[in-house]
Amino acid sequence: MTDTSDKALLALADRVEKMQGRSHWDAAAAAAFRAIVAGRQAGVQVKPLVWSDEGNDQFIAQTVIGWYHVGLSNGRWAMMGPNIGDTRLSSLNDAKAAAQADYEARIRAALKGPNDDQ
């Protein structure tokens, strides 16, 4: 089971922000992790991604907004999703957590809270 607790997501955001040579996708992922924690603290939850094991260390999750792919490539775990380039992470759990965080951030972006102006 992938740990997507608030504590784990904040720790992952910290690790991603400290990575050498990180891309703008990595920075966006770190921001998404922090947004997930904020949304959860507001009481809204998004269902977890359901992963299909495609073999050869490749996993796919189909969603209403597109698919997420996690796979081992050149000794590092890569996460790709809807309009997301290749984000490299150090573990399968980190890659799945990154996908979950991105998915949750996109779903939450479409929701309107009671205190939202627009």
- pLDDT at position 20 is 65
The predicted pLDDT at position 113 comes to 61
Q: What is the pLDDT of residues 82-110, one digit of tens each?
A: 988 788 888 999 999 989 988 988 887 77
Count of C-beta atoms within a 10 Å radius of residue 44: 12
State the DSSP code for 82.
Answer: T
Q: Using a cut of 0.95, tell me whether the model's pTM lies above it.
A: no
Closest CA to 97 of 110, 107, 87: 87
pLDDT for res 62? 96
Residues found in the chain: 118
Domain boundaries, the chain: 6-109
pLDDT, one tens digit per residue, over 19-43 is 767 666 677 777 777 777 776 766 6
Distance CA 49, CA 63 (A): 8
pLDDT value of residue 6 = 78
- Rounded distance, CA 17 to CA 28, Å? 10
